[in-house]
Structure formats: structure tokens, C-alpha cells
Chain A
Amino acid sequence: MQEEDSGEDNTFNEDSILELAKSKPNGISNNDIKNEIPNVLPEMWTKSVNKLLKAGTLELFKDKGVLLYKYKDPSTKTEVKGSDNEEKVVYKIIEEAGNKGIWIRDIRFKSNLNMTQLNKVLKSLETKKFIKAVKSVAASKKKVYMLYNLEPDSSVTGGAWYQDQDFESEFVDVLNQQCYRFLDGKREAAIKLGGGPLMCRNRSYASAHDVHKFISELGISKVQLSVDDIESILYTVVLDNKAERTVNPSGEYLYRAINPFLKSPGIVRTTCGICPIVDRCADSGLINPKSCKYLTDWLND
């Protein structure tokens, strides 16, 4: 009878401890448990805590000399079945790295395994589909490892602008043009509306949100673009000297299409101004103004 009772008590204890741990993602200390579940003897709950630790539902941490228990979702907890200790260690290291992944060299330092052994472990984990290798965009030859079911972080994949580690410049160019088209259209509409130059100017401003809406409605993008993505595209439009950026009182960036001061300067309207071999051009020698092919072509235009 008594044993049954204590068994019931235990489950009760376990549940309440789990509830407590779940409510505090930063972990619970021994004192927390004592305060929250006062009517249970310490011997009783230590037993259940040990049981939970063994089962892997709780994790033990030490912070400033205080022992902390943290709840761990049993769904992420994977039994590394049929694996040896090395595999478990490596798995744990990779798991800690989260969706940012970890470089093989760092795994080696942390695990103290030698290269050949580590390679073997990684390969076996990969074939069992516990982990996967993802190529980072930061360095094309750098592979990072992460758990199989994780979605790689945008710093690893490069976000919306990358497809299989390749930067999609054409996509960016198209977006750049479309953003400018939107701003330009907005400016023209403002001029058409009239109502004084100040009104025109203020009407021609657009925020990244407006542009984002426009781009989303265009449906040119296969991937979902965030407002931040559009913001960085708009910045390239600004850098192309086709738009200017100002901040409105609420701290939001506003963009407006602008005209340049000058038409292209005279020097670059000739061939020599843009000639790639102008430094090698002289009176004598193969490259000279008298027989220059570029000049001839330009003159016969």
C-alpha cells in the first residue's frame, strides 16, 4: 500500500517539477523546488529529479555555484541509438551549436578526438541521419554540421539572396530595378497630382513597408522576402545614386527617387576616358591614337 502511495506521489512530484521547470526556461534551483512544492520531503523530490535527469527530460547546469535544472523537450531529445560514447559526445557538441552549425575544427578542439576518428564518427552520424553538413556562404569550402532536423540560420545560408550557396545577383538586380521603378512611379504620380513642390516631395517618399507590399504583390519572388530584405535592396538603390534616404520622426527610413546633378561628364563620352589600356597608349608603339581601333569605331559610329 505504502509503496503504491509513494509511487503515486512520485509521479505527482515529477509532473509538478516538470511544470515548474517549463515555466522557468532559465532553469530552477533546489531552493525554487523547495519553495514551490513545500509539502514534499526533500528526499522524495531529489529522487524524482534524479529520475528525470536520467531520463533526459531535465538537464543539470551550474551557474555561479548554484545547481540549476532546465527542462528539455523530449521531442528534441533523440536517442543516439546503437552509438558509442564518442558519437554521443560529438552529437552533443553539434546539438549545442544549434542552427548556426559548427565547424569541424571546433568539434575537434571541443571533443579532443583525433581527425581520423572524428571523421569516422561524423560519417556514421550522417549516414544515420542524425546530423547533416551544410555549406556556409561565408566561405565556400567551409562545411558546418548541425542536427538533421534543423533549418540552417540565415547567416549560414545567406538568407533570401542565396540559392545553394550561390548569390543570386540577377534576382537582386531585378529587385533593385523594381524598387527604383516603384519610387520613380511614386514621384511621377506626385508630380501629376500637383499641389506645390513641397507636397510633391513629401508625396514621393515611400517607406520600406510600401515597397515591400508592392514587391510582394508583383509576385516576382519565389521566396518570402522580409521588410529588412527590401530595406537592404533599397539601400543599394541609394548607393546607385537613384534615390535618397531620410529618417522620419518615428525612426523609419523613407526613400525617394532623385535626379542626378550632372549628365555624364565629357571625359567618359569618348573612348579614351573609358579605355582600359589608356595607360599603355603612347605616340609610338602598337597602341597609339593615330591607329586606335576604338577611336576609329567610335568616329565611324
Chain B
Amino acid sequence: MSLQQRNVIKLILVERFGNVIADVGDIIFQNPSSLYTIVKSADIPLSKVKEALSVLIKYNLATFKLNTDAITAIYSLNVKNILLMLRFPKFINLIKAKFDESYEILVEEILLKGCLTASELIIKVTKRLQEQKNVNILLQELKDNFNSLITAKYVMRLSLQSLKVDELFLLPNIDLKEILAVLNGGNDTLPDAGVYWTINSDRFHQDLRDQLIVNSVTNKFDENMGELMRLLLQQMYVRTDPWVSSSNPIPILEVKEIVKKRNTHPQLVAFFEQYVAILEQDVTGIIRKVGEASGGSFQVEMKHIFTQLTWEAVEEIVNEKFDSKASRIFRLVKSRHYIEPEQIQNLVMIPAKEVKRILYMLLEENFLVVNELKRSATSLGPSKSFTLFHIRLTQVIRTMIELCFKTLYNIMMRRCHEKYLNKRLIDKKHRVDTITHGMRAQGISGDSVLDIEEMITPPENEILERIGKMMKKLSLTEIEIDDTMFLLEMYLMYE
């Protein structure tokens, strides 16, 4: 709940839903309030506010609860879900990588609509894909795919208070004949009306988390070790709840069997024991041996992994924000917990003056804190107190998250601004594109299409290209910043 967060949220809402909804969202972000208060403070007509609220609720971006007077409802914003929208591209990409295109479109449609019934979803996707495939086969395929998404818990029922936890992933009753009838123009009520489905962000996060861990391990060691880590995580879920800080023991023989059966990484098969030993002996302590039975069983130390990764990320941020000398000092303070400036000078091999400058710069930017310990009153010496430097990681991380929000806001703001500056040109390009597209659809080709296309002059084309590149860069950066935020959030969650 900060100013930066508020700015980012407002921009996300403006980009995706327009100004009215963003204004309403902003009001209930600051203060959960009743409809009357919203209308009063927003200066927007009642009907529009109602519409805005219903859209927000449909996308699960706002919730409401009964006021203490038991008559009015109090609306509040679902901040987490709004920020989640930045991660949607990643979710879609994840599904695409894991399954195939039809799954991807299913998930994409759910994300676009916020929530919808299974039949509605299947109808929508069928309409998009029916040109490529036979409708009957497609329907069956989509039904199966949707069911497997539910079984894998990527999709869940919209949670209502009356719903029990185990009912969240009950398979819906999908009648393909009825759906076919609707597709052909009938309007029967479908049997699963009223059962709405939405995505289960926790499940996606779990996958993103695993991906992050596997990638990190691959970076640090090699491909084979990454594969080992992936299989360890996969076997972890057999016995362990996905979000506990350290997993239940995993018998290593199980993993070995899988490695042998798959035989994708011959190196890993040949030196399986050695890889396990290296991973276990490494100072980073990713896995821990807990028992000798059946070739040894190991725990995956999730919390520990994220502490390690977060430390590294913060160190890297210090490295980039200041320089390698600063990150050296930062790491020294980390490893010694509390340390005096004189000791730092001796160990980091940097001139004393420079050390002092860096130390106080880090202090100013809140990466370090100073603890002053007073000597006892009896001792009389030139120095009456010790100055100890120290890092409070959680505090640093919260500062970093703020910085992420700030950066995100700046990037998004800049993108909006660039769009605004070149609005005329972009609109023109849009018009030309629609016209040429329409002409091609009508079967017109040749000179007349070229004439229309030439309405955009080469310099204009150049500018458009530049803007396109810029937008791409900005969007990519947004996703990258979200990566950092994801890592930091994971750390805070395990904390």
C-alpha cells in the first residue's frame, strides 16, 4: 500500500479498462467505500459507477462486504489480482510451453474474460479455431483439455463462501450436444450455467517458481544438474504440499529410476550419484540429506533456496546500482553480519577513503544500517562507541519492491506518453491497415492497395518502426521487472 503501488494500479486499470474504471478503482484503493461515497467523491454518474464496479467484480479485481450498518455494501479493491494482470503474458507462455496451442487459447480466453462458464469458454474457443479443424473433434478435444487443466489445478471454480475447498476442482458437466446446438444457432440453457471458472494463480506461481529454481541451478551448475533439480521438484509434489518451506524427504532412488527410464541426459545417468553428492555438498544448501535408507532421501529446502536467490539478486542490484566495489563490501557485511568499518577496510582491499564513501552511500540508500554500541561508562578511551554495519534483508527487499513499482510506473507512463505523442500517426497507420485488410478480404489487389499503403510516407514508416521497437522494449522491460518482483515476493512469502 504505497503511492507507487497506487500509481501502477491506476495505470494498469487505465490501459485495460479505461478512465472511468480506473477512477473508481483509485477511490476504492484509497478507501474501501460504499456506492454512495464513490459517486460523491468520483463525480461520475451513478450508472457508470455501477457499471465500473460490476466490471471490476467480474474480473475479480474488487470485492464487497456488508457494512456494519447491515444495509450498504462496502467495496474494496483486490490489489493482488490487479498486479497479477502484468503476469498474464507469462502465464500464457507457460501453458504454451507445457501443453499445446489449444490449451493456450483456453487459458487466454479465461484471462480475457476474468471468469466464465465451461460451456461459454468452449463455444468461444471453438469459434476461434473452427476454421482449422472439424468442429466435432475440436469440441471433444477442448472438453478433454479443459478437464485436464482443472485436474492439474490451473483452473478453478470461482471461490464462493458456500464452496468447500475440495469442491473447487470438481469437473463440470459439459454437454457437447447442447453446445453444438448453441453453435448452430439454438439458445438452450446449458447444464453448467452458473458455474464460473477462473484461473488459479497459485498453481501458475508454483510453476514459475519451479522454473526459476531450475533455471538458477542450470546457470550455476550445468544442464544435467538442472534436469536433476527439475525431477527432484517433480517428485517432491508426490509427498509434499507445494508451498511448505522445506519438503518431505524424497527417496533418491525414485528420481534415479525416472532418469534411467527417460534417458534424456546420458551424463546424468552415468554420474547420477556424483551429481546428487555435488548438489548436496554445495555451500548453497539446496537439498539436505535426511536419511540413509534406500540410497538416501533428501529434502528440498525451498525457503533456503529463495533466501539464497534473493541475496544474490540484491547483491547484483547493488553491483549495478553502484559498482563492483560496493557489492564486494555489501557481501562482506552480509557474511560477517555485524562489522566495523576498520575491519572492512582491511578485508576488501579498497583504499580507506573509498571504503568510507561507499559505506555511507549504501547507508544513505538504505542498503545498510548502522548499529552503535556504547562502551561501558568506566572505560575511558578516545573512541567511546563501536560503529557496526549491518544488513536488514527484509527492509532492503521492501525498498527494492518499492523501487520496482516506481520503475514499473515510469516505464508504463513513458509508454503511454509515447503513444500519446504519436497518436495521430498510430491512428493513421491503423486506418490504413483496416482499409487494406478490407480490400484484400474483398479480393482487390494490385495497384489500388499499394496506393493506399503509400499514404504512409517513408519517414512516417521510419518513425512507426522506431515506436514499435520502443514499445517492444518497454513491454519486455515490464515483464523483466515483474520477474524481479516475483522473486522478491517469493522471499517475503517464505519469510
Q: Which residues of A are in contact with B by a Cβ distance under 8 Å?
A: 161, 166-167, 169, 172, 176, 196-198, 201, 232-233, 235-236, 239-241, 244, 246, 258-270, 272-274, 278, 281, 283, 289-290, 292, 295, 299
Contacts and interface: CB of A to CB of B under 8 A. Distances in A.
B190 interface: no
A268 B352 contact: no
The 5 A-B residue pairs with the shortest CB-CB distance, nearest first, are A266-B480, A268-B320, A289-B410, A272-B407, A167-B351
Contacts, number: 146
A269 B477 contact: yes
B278 A265 contact: no
Nearest to A258: B220
B349 A261 contact: no
Interface in B70-123: none
A289 B417 contact: yes
Given A289-B409, A290-B417, A265 B483 contact: yes
Interface string B232-265: 0000000000000000000000000000000000
Contacts of B411: 270, 272, 289
Contacts of A299: 414, 470, 473-474
B406 A232 contact: no
Nearest to B470: A299
Contacts of A270: 407, 411, 477, 480-481
A262 B219 contact: yes
Interface in B257-311: 267, 270-271, 274-275, 277-278, 283-284, 308-309
B312 interface: yes
Contact of B313 (A167, A197, A201, A265): A265
B482 interface: yes
B413 A290 contact: yes
B209 interface: no
A262 B312 contact: yes
Contacts of B317: 265, 267-268, 273
Interface string B385-419: 00000000000000010011011011101100100
Contacts of A240: 324, 327-328, 331
A278 B407 CA distance: 9
22 contacts: A169-B351, A196-B271, A197-B222, A197-B225, A197-B274, A201-B278, A232-B347, A232-B349, A233-B349, A235-B347, A259-B219, A261-B219, A261-B312, A262-B312, A265-B317, A265-B484, A267-B480, A268-B316, A273-B321, A278-B406, A281-B410, A290-B414
B348 interface: yes
Most chain B CB neighbours (cut-off 10 Å) among A161, A196, A264, A267: A267
Given A169-B351, A236-B349, A262-B312, A268 B321 contact: yes
Given A267-B404, A281-B410, 8 more contacts: A240-B327, A261-B219, A267-B403, A268-B316, A272-B411, A273-B321, A273-B403, A295-B414
A262 B218 CA distance: 10
Contacts of A283: 413
A162 B400 CA distance: 38
A197 B410 contact: no
B410 A262 contact: no
Nearest to A263: B219
A265 B403 CA distance: 13
B283 A261 contact: no
B256 to A, nearest CB: 15
A252 B68 CA distance: 70
Contacts of B484: 265-267
B487 interface: yes
B420 to A, nearest CB: 9
B224 A197 contact: yes
Contacts of A244: 283
A160 B425 CA distance: 65
Most chain A CB neighbours (cut-off 10 Å) among B320, B349, B409, B484: B349
B214 to A, nearest CB: 11
A267 B410 CA distance: 12
B167 interface: no
A264 B316 contact: yes
A260 B332 contact: no
B23 interface: no
A161 B349 contact: yes
A71 to B, nearest CB: 37
Contacts of A167: 350-352
A266 B278 contact: no
Contacts of A233: 349
B354 interface: yes
Nearest to B268: A197
B349 A198 contact: no
A289 B277 CA distance: 50
A261 B354 contact: no
Contacts of B224: 197
A241 B403 contact: no
A286 to B, nearest CB: 15
B466 to A, nearest CB: 8
B216 interface: yes
Contacts of A258: 220
Interface string B332-356: 1001000000000001111110100
Nearest to A167: B351
Most chain B CB neighbours (cut-off 10 Å) among A197, A244, A259: A197
B132 to A, nearest CB: 36
Contact of B406 (A172, A268, A281): A281
Contacts of A263: 219
A239 B332 contact: yes
Nearest to B309: A261
B315 interface: yes
A263 B479 CA distance: 15
A299 B312 CA distance: 27
Contacts of B308: 261
A268 to B, nearest CB: 4
Contact of A198 (B217, B220, B274, B403): B274
Contacts of A292: 410, 414
Given A169-B354, A196-B271, A289-B417, A266 B483 contact: yes
Contacts of B403: 267, 272-273, 278
Contacts of B220: 258-261
A267 B350 contact: no
Contact of A260 (B219, B225, B277): B219
A129 B137 CA distance: 104
B255 to A, nearest CB: 16
A103 to B, nearest CB: 13
Contact of A266 (B222, B225, B331, B482): B482
A262 B319 CA distance: 13
Contact of B328 (A197, A201, A236, A272): A236
A267 B328 contact: no
A266 B309 CA distance: 14
A258 B278 CA distance: 13
Contact of B312 (A201, A260, A273): A260
